[in-house]
Structure 1
Amino acid sequence: LGLRSAGLVGISIPGAFLSGILAISLMGYSMNIVVLFALIMAVGMLVDGAIVVVELAERNLRNGYSPREAYFEAAKRMAWPITASTATTLAAFMPLVFWPGIIGEFMKYLPITLLVTLSMSLLMALLFVPTIGALLRGGAVAGQDTARLVAAESDLLGEARLTLEQGSGMLKHYLRLLGHGLRHPVKVLLAAVLILVLTMVAYGKFGKGVEFFPNIEPEVAQLSIHARGDLAVAERDALVQEVEARILDMVEFESVYARSGLRLGNDSAEDVIGRIQLQLVDWELRRPASEILAEVRQRTADLAGIVVETEVQQNGPTSGKPVQVEISARDSATLPAAVEHVRRGMTAVGGFIDITDNRPLPGIDWRVEVDRESAAKFGTDISTIGSAIQLLTNGILLGDYRPDNADDEVDIRVRFPEGMRNLDQFDRLTVGTALGNVPIGNFVTRSPAPRVGSLERTDGIRVMKISADVHDDFLVNDKVLELQNWLAENPAEGGASILFRGENEDQAEAQAFLSRAFGVALFMMAIILLVQFNSFYQTLLILTAVLFSTAGVLIALMVTGRPFGVVMSGIGVISLAGIVVNNNIVLIDTYNQLRKSGAEALEAALLTCAQRMRPVLLTTVTTILGLMPMAIGMNFDLLNRHIQFGGPSTQWWTQLATAVAGGLAFATVLTLVLTPCLLVLGEKLFRQKALPAESLAEQS
C-alpha cells in the first residue's frame, strides 16, 4: 500500500479501539483478560474494511481521480460489500453472547468486545478514513493528462484489464496457476474435498485429541493430607508437620502455609487431617507445576498411614477436579461397593491420580432407641432422656460468653468429666423421674451401626462421589472414555447408576451450545449473503469456505502439537466463520460487477483475482500477524524490555489464536483458488441447464 496509505489504514485501529472501549465502559463492563484478548484479536480484523477502501482509492488516484473523488467513490463502491462482510462477522459472534452457565459468564466479554469494536471499525472504514485520506492528499491529481486517463480507465472492466496487463512477479505466477485451475474447476473442487477428508483422517490418527479447557500454569498449589483413625489434634498436626518437613527444602516454593485440626471446611473429605498451601515462585524461575507436584508425591510416598493429595489452583471458569463420578442406587447399602468398583476401574485403566471419594470413614455409631411406653410408665419423656445422654457426649448448652480480646463467642456447656464419658458410664446412667432415679437401661437400648458421615442426595436418591485428576501425559476426555468402556465391559453389581460429572459434563454442554451457535451463525450469515447477492449458489459457495477452513484449523493444531479445545478452538471455528466470508464477499462482488460490465466468466474470474489478490492478502496477513504472538505464546514486557515465551497469560489463548490463524491462512488460499473456480463452474452448470430451455423456446 505504501507508507502514506499504511498510516491511513493504521488510524482505524486506535479510532475503533477508543470508541469500543468507551462503549464497553458505558455498558458497565471493566477491563479484564478476556476483553484485552478480544482487542488483540480485533486488531487484524479492524483494518480489513479500511484496507479495501484505501486500496481502491489508491487505484482511483492512479487512474486520474482527484483525492476527494477517489476516496468518495472508493467508499461508495465498497460500502455494501464491507457492510455485508462486517455484518457476517458480527453474526458469527452474536450467538456467543447468549452462552449460558459459568463458561458463558466468563467468555461473554469476548463477543461483546468484538461486536462493539468491529461496529466502530465499519464507521472508521466508510466515514473517517475516506475523509481523512481526502484531506491528507490535498488537491493533487496523479498523472499528466487527467481527462484522458479518466475517460479511458473509469470503467471497472478497463481498470481490471489494466491491472492484469501491469501485473508482474508473484501476481503473474498466481494468475498462470489460476488459469489452469479455471479450465478444470471440477478437479480443483475434488482436490479441495480430498484435502479436507485427508486432514480429518490425519487429525484423528495423529492429532492430540480433544480437551475441554486449556491447562494454565498455576501460581498456587495445595496438599491435602488424608489419614484414618480417631486422631487427636496434636497427632494430626504431627503428621502434617512430617509432610511439611519433606518439602520445605524445595526452592520452587515462595511460601508454605500449613493448617491441621478437626474442622477444615465443608468441602473437606472426612479423612482430611490437614492442608498445606504452596505459593509458587514466578513461572520463569521454576519448573512446571506438574513436575514440582510429581516430586512432592514422590517425596511423601513412603510416609506410612497417610495419603498426600495434590491440587493446583484452577484458572478460568472450571472448578474442582476434572474427573467427577456420581454413583447412585436405590439401595444405599450397595454404594460403597460400587465406589470401590469404580476405583478399581480407574486403577485398571491407568492415568488417574489423586483419587478421592466421600465414603464414610470406618467406624461405629451407637444408635439409641427409646421405648416410649416404658418411659411413660416411669413418668419421664424423650426430652429428659436426651438431656441425660448429652451429659456423656457434647454436653448441655447453658449459654455463651465472649472472652476479652476475642471476636467469637464461647459456648458454656455442662457434661461429665472426660474419664466418665464412655459406654460403661452409659450403662450406669440414671434418669430422674417421679419415682426417683431410674437406670436408663429400663427403657433405652443401644445398638452398634456402621458409621455414617455426611449424606448427599440427588433427586431424592442417595449418592456417593469420586473425584480424580489425570496425569499430564493424558487428556481427560481420553481417560474418561476408556473408563466408560471399562465400566461397560465390567458393570457394577447392585444396579448402581454411574454418571460422569465435572469436566465431562461441562464439555458436553459446551459442545451442544457451540454446535447450536455455529448453526445459528451460519443461518444469519446466509440471510445476509442472500440479501447482498440474491443468489443461492453464491451464498452456498461462500459458506463452503467456512467448512473447508476447518481443515486449516486441524492442520495448525497438528503442526503445533496442540489438542482441539472444545471451548477455545470451538470459539475459534465460529470466529473463523465470520472472518473467512469477508474476502469471499469482496471477491464475488467484484466478479459480479465485472460480469455486468460485459466480461466472460473465465475472464471475469481472472480479472477479479488480479484486482483483489493484494487486498485479500493484506487483510489476511494483518489478522494473522495480530494473532501470531498469542499463537506462539510470545509476551512482550515493554517496561523491562524483555520478550517471554510460554507465559501463563498466553496459555489462555494459544488454541483460539492458532485455530483462527491456521484456518484463515488455509481459507485464503481457497479464496484465491477455489472460489473463482467454483464461480466458473457455476456459470458452466447454469449455462448447460439454460441451453435446452433456449433451444426448446426457439423450436416453439
Structure 2
Amino acid sequence: VFSGTMTTLAPFVPLAFWNSLIGHFMFFLPITLIITLLASLVVAYIMNPVFAVDFMKPHIEGEHDHPRFDKKTNRTLLILGGLTAFSYLMFFTGKWTMGMGNFLVLCIALYLLNHFVLLNVIDKFQNNVWPRFQNWYAKWLERAVKRPVTILLGTFGLFVLAIVLMSVLGKTPVFFPSGDPNFAYVYVTMPIGTDQAATNEITKKIEQRVAKAVEPDKDVVTSIISNVTKGVTDPTDEDQGDYENKGKVTVAFVEFGKRDGKDTKQILTKIRNSVQGFPGVKIAVAQENAGPPVQKDISIELIGDNLDSLVKTGNRLKSYLAKQNIAGIENLVADVQNDKPEIVFDVNRERANREGLNTAQISQSLGIAVFGAKAGDFRNTKEDDYQIKVRALQNQRGNIDELRNMKITYRDMGSGGMIRQVPISAFTDVRYTSTYSNIKRKQQRRVLTLGSSVVKPYNPNEVNANILRAINNFKKSDDIIIRQGGGQEDQLEAVTFLGGALATSFGLILIILMIQFNSIGKTLIIISEIFFSIIGVLLGVSIFGMTMAIVMTGVGIIALAGVVVRNGILLVEFTDMLIEQGMNVHDAVVEAGHTRMTPVLLTATAAILGLIPLAVGFNIDFVGMFTNFEPHIHFGGDNVAFWGPLAWTMIFGLGFATVITLILVPCMYLIRVNLKNRLFGKKETKIANHKLETAEA
C-alpha cells in the first residue's frame, strides 16, 4: 500500500515546483493530489481496519438468493422514512427546501433496488460470470507466456505503429486548449494623439455594428459594453495604462448550458467580419483567455541597438509577411511606433540665463501646468486621504498658444531677489515632431515585437511554422536578430519543464521501486509500463482525431506514470510471494495474473469511470434535480475544453496500460528469470532449491 501510494504521488512532486505563470496556474493540481494521497494512507492504515472490524462480516453462500423484509431492512427503512417525513415537514414550515426530502426518497428507492435486485445480480456475477472471465484470461496468459519474446517485440512494433499513426492522422498540437468563447473582445486602436471624443465616436459606430452582427443570436448574448481610454488593453499585456486613442467593445454570452447548442465561435467570426472597413483604425477581435496568462499566439521579436533600424525592418517584415498570404494571421501590430505626435519646447539657454532662469525651472513650470503638482491632502470623516493637485485650466493646458504665453513666476537672485514674471515664449521656440510611442528592452537590448492573434479554426503552431519558414527567407541587416517569442517561447519553456518533470518522476519512482524490490530487473519491468502506456495515448489521440494540448497532455502522461506503476507492483509482488512458497516461475506468473486480475481491473476501471464525466463534459445540476426536478443535463462547456485533454490522456493510457500489466508484465518477468538463469544458472538453481527446501520444511 505504501509503495503504491508513493509511486502514485511521486510524479506530482516536480509539478509543484513549476516556477512560471503556467506553473503558478497549475500549482493547486499537484498540491491537492499530494495532500489527498497522503491522507489516503491515514485512511488505509487507520480508518479502514477499524471499519473492517465493525462492519465487515463473512460472506454466506446464497444469503441474497431470497431477499425479504427482515429486521435489519425494516430498521433501515424506518430510519430513512422518518428522516424523509421530517424533511418534508420542515419544507412545509418553510425552513427547508424540498430537495432534501426528494433526495431521501431516492436513497430509499436505491436501498430497495440494492436489497431486492442488485445484491442477487452481483452474487451471480461474482460466482458465475467473473470466474469464467478469469479462466478465459488465464488461458490467453498461458499462451502468451509460452512466447514472451514475441509478445515483447509485438509491443515494440505497436509502439512504432502508434508513432506512425500519430504522424499521419494526428493533428498539430496546441499549447493550451480553448473552448467556446464566453466573452468576445473588439480592441479599437486609433492613431496616436487622437482625442478621446473622436475615439468614442468610432467606438460607438463599431458597437452598433457588433450589435447588428449578434442580433440573430441575441438570445445567447447578455450584454454589449464599450470602454474608451480606461480598461482598453489586452488583459495579458504588460501595459495596462490609460490611452485616449484606444477603445474596447465587450460582448458577454450566457453560460454554456443555456446556449441551446449555438456555437459562439461562429458568432465571434461574424463580429470579426462586421467590424472591417474603418480607414486608419486598427481593430482586433479576440476571445477571453480561459487558461493561464500567456503571450499572444504570434509574437515576432526584432532585437537590435538602433531603434530607427528596428522600426524600418519591422515595417518591411510586416509588409513581407502580408505578401506571403499566410492563413490564420489576424492583424500584425508592432508594439513600438514612430508616429507619436510630440511638441518640443526648445529652450534658448542664452536668453533664459539673461532672465535668471535655467531649464529645470522651465520644465518644472510646464510640468505643473499640464500634469499638476501636489498642493496638500484632504481627509474626510471616513479617514480616507485624497491628494489635492493644482494644474492649469483645461482651455489653458490644451492650447499651445496659452502654454507659450504662460508666465513663470520666480525670484531673480541676480537682481537682489526680486519677484519676476516672464512668459515662456520669451526664451523658447515651439517645434512639432514625431517620436517613438515607447521603448522596450530585453537583456539590455532594444526590442520591437510584431504581435497578432490566430484566427479560428487555424492552429497557432501551424501558423507559426509557416511564419518561421517565411522569416528564414527575409533579408535583414546583420545587427538585427529576428526570433519568435510570445506563445512559442512559453510553449518551449513548458515542454522543457514537462520533459524534466517526467525524468524526475522516473527517478523518484525508480528509487521507490528499488527500495521495495531490491532488484534492478523487477524495477525495470514495472517502470517500463510508463513507456508502453504512452502507446495508448498516441493510439487514442490519433484514431479519434483529437488535438493534443501540450500542457494538459503532458501533465496527464506524468500523472499516468504513478497509476500504471501501482498495478505492476501488485503483480510482481504477488509473483515473488508465490515463488517463495515453492511454485515454479511459469505457474507463478500465470497464477499471479489470474489472482491479481481483479484488483488491477478494479483500480483501472474505477479511475476510468471517474474520468469519463470530465472527459465528455457531463454536467448535471443536483440541486435543481432534487428541488425542481430540473437536472439541466448537458455535455460540453469550459471544463471539458480545458480538462478534457488531460482526462482523455489518462483514459487512453490507463486502458492500454491495464492490458500491458496483465499480459506484458508476466511475460517480461519470465524473460528476466530465463535471462538470469542463462547468465547465472548454477547460482540461481541453488538459491531456488534452498527456497524450495525451506518451504517444504
Same fold, TM exceeding 0.5? yes
Q: Secondary structure in 2 aligned to 1:495?
A: coil
Q: Which amino acid aligns with 1:578?
A: G
CA, structure 1 residues 103+590, in 2 after alignment: closer, same or farther (shift >3 Å)? same
Q: Which amino acid aligns with 2:187?
A: S
Deviates more, 1:230-239 or 1:438-447: 438-447
CA, structure 1 residues 440+617, in 2 after alignment: closer, same or farther (shift >3 Å)? closer
Q: Which amino acid aligns with 1:221?
A: A
Q: How many residues align?
A: 593
Contact 2:171/2:547 (<8 A) preserved: yes
1:124 paired to 2:87 = no
Deviation at 1:387, TM superposition (A): 7.1
Contact 1:256/1:279 (<8 A) preserved: yes
Aligned partner of 2:460 in structure 1 is 476
1:644 paired to 2:606 = no
1:291-302 equivalence runs, <5 A: 291-302=266-277
1:468-507 equivalence runs, <5 A: 468-493=452-477, 495-507=479-491
Distance in 2 (CA, whole Å) between partners of 1:182 and 1:231 is 79
Contact 2:195/2:245 (<8 A) preserved: no
Same amino acid, percent of matched pairs: 26
Q: Secondary structure in 2 aligned to 1:582?
A: helix
Aligned partner of 2:672 in structure 1 is 682
1:356 paired to 2:333 = yes
1:162-561 equivalence runs, <5 A: 168-228=131-191, 230-249=193-212, 250=214, 251=218, 252-261=220-229, 267=240, 272-286=245-259, 287-344=262-319, 346-347=321-322, 348=324, 349-360=326-337, 362=339, 364-373=341-350, 375-377=352-354, 379-383=356-360, 385-386=362-363, 394=370, 412-414=390-392, 421-422=399-400, 444=428, 449-493=433-477, 495-561=479-545
Q: Secondary structure in 2 aligned to 1:353?
A: coil
Deviation at 1:659, TM superposition (A): 0.6
Distance in 2 (CA, whole Å) between partners of 1:278 and 1:314 is 14
Q: Secondary structure in 2 aligned to 1:327?
A: strand
Contact 1:269/1:358 (<8 A) preserved: no
RMSD: 3.8
Deviates more, 1:573-582 or 1:517-526: 517-526
Distance in 1 (CA, whole Å) between partners of 2:207 and 2:264 is 18
Deviates more, 1:420-429 or 1:202-211: 420-429
Distance in 1 (CA, whole Å) between partners of 2:471 and 2:551 is 28
Deviation at 1:193, TM superposition (A): 0.5
Which whole-Å deviations, capped at 9, do the CAs of 1:407-446 have from their partners, x for residues lacking one? 9778544479669945799699999998999998886556
1:611 paired to 2:595 = yes
Distance in 1 (CA, whole Å) between partners of 2:25 and 2:192 is 42
Deviation at 1:547, TM superposition (A): 0.3
CA, structure 1 residues 355+271, in 2 after alignment: closer, same or farther (shift >3 Å)? farther
Q: Which amino acid aligns with 1:657?
A: A
CA, structure 1 residues 494+263, in 2 after alignment: closer, same or farther (shift >3 Å)? farther
Contact 2:179/2:637 (<8 A) preserved: no
Deviation at 1:220, TM superposition (A): 2.4
Distance in 2 (CA, whole Å) between partners of 1:407 and 1:394 is 23
Contact 2:374/2:388 (<8 A) preserved: no
**Consecutive unaligned residues in structure 1, runs of 5 or more:** 1-81, 144-162, 696-700
Distance in 2 (CA, whole Å) between partners of 1:84 and 1:437 is 86
Deviates more, 1:347-356 or 1:440-449: 440-449
CA, structure 1 residues 350+271, in 2 after alignment: closer, same or farther (shift >3 Å)? farther
Which whole-Å deviations, capped at 9, do the CAs of 1:567-600 have from their partners, x for residues lacking one? 2111111111000011111101111111122222
Distance in 2 (CA, whole Å) between partners of 1:258 and 1:547 is 52
Which whole-Å deviations, capped at 9, do the CAs of 1:492-520 have from their partners, x for residues lacking one? 33632234333222222222222222112
Contact 2:514/2:523 (<8 A) preserved: yes
1:99 paired to 2:14 = no
Contact 1:188/1:674 (<8 A) preserved: yes
Which whole-Å deviations, capped at 9, do the CAs of 1:610-630 have from their partners, x for residues lacking one? 111222111111110010111
Q: Secondary structure in 2 aligned to 1:587?
A: helix
Q: Which amino acid aligns with 1:217?
A: D
CA, structure 1 residues 419+605, in 2 after alignment: closer, same or farther (shift >3 Å)? closer
Distance in 1 (CA, whole Å) between partners of 2:449 and 2:177 is 25
Deviation at 1:170, TM superposition (A): 2.5
Deviates more, 1:212-221 or 1:511-520: 212-221
Deviation at 1:188, TM superposition (A): 0.7
Deviates more, 1:516-525 or 1:633-642: 633-642
Contact 2:194/2:244 (<8 A) preserved: no
Q: Which amino acid aligns with 2:250?
A: Q
Distance in 1 (CA, whole Å) between partners of 2:60 and 2:40 is 28
Distance in 1 (CA, whole Å) between partners of 2:386 and 2:232 is 17
TM superposition score normalised by structure 1: 0.75
Distance in 2 (CA, whole Å) between partners of 1:601 and 1:420 is 93
Q: Secondary structure in 2 aligned to 1:652?
A: helix
CA, structure 1 residues 378+623, in 2 after alignment: closer, same or farther (shift >3 Å)? closer
Which whole-Å deviations, capped at 9, do the CAs of 1:439-485 have from their partners, x for residues lacking one? 98886556554322222233333222232111222222232233223
Distance in 2 (CA, whole Å) between partners of 1:446 and 1:431 is 20
Distance in 1 (CA, whole Å) between partners of 2:509 and 2:255 is 45
CA, structure 1 residues 241+602, in 2 after alignment: closer, same or farther (shift >3 Å)? same
Which whole-Å deviations, capped at 9, do the CAs of 1:136-162 have from their partners, x for residues lacking one? 34478879xxxxxxxxxxxxxxxxxxx
Q: Which amino acid aligns with 2:269?
A: A
Distance in 1 (CA, whole Å) between partners of 2:501 and 2:298 is 26
Aligned partner of 1:147 in structure 2 is none
Q: Which amino acid aligns with 2:252?
A: Q
Q: Secondary structure in 2 aligned to 1:318?
A: coil
Distance in 2 (CA, whole Å) between partners of 1:694 and 1:135 is 46
Deviation at 1:343, TM superposition (A): 2.8
Contact 1:398/1:413 (<8 A) preserved: no
TM superposition score normalised by structure 2: 0.76
Which whole-Å deviations, capped at 9, do the CAs of 1:501-545 have from their partners, x for residues lacking one? 332222222222222221121111111111211211110011111
CA, structure 1 residues 401+407, in 2 after alignment: closer, same or farther (shift >3 Å)? closer
Contact 2:346/2:429 (<8 A) preserved: yes
Q: Secondary structure in 1 aligned to 2:333?
A: strand
Contact 2:232/2:242 (<8 A) preserved: no
Aligned partner of 1:594 in structure 2 is 578
Distance in 2 (CA, whole Å) between partners of 1:514 and 1:661 is 20
**Consecutive unaligned residues in structure 2, runs of 5 or more:** 63-125, 234-238, 625-629, 686-697
Deviates more, 1:629-638 or 1:129-138: 129-138
Q: Secondary structure in 2 aligned to 1:569?
A: helix
Contact 1:375/1:443 (<8 A) preserved: yes
Q: Which amino acid aligns with 1:689?
A: L
CA, structure 1 residues 674+445, in 2 after alignment: closer, same or farther (shift >3 Å)? same
Q: Which amino acid aligns with 2:637?
A: G
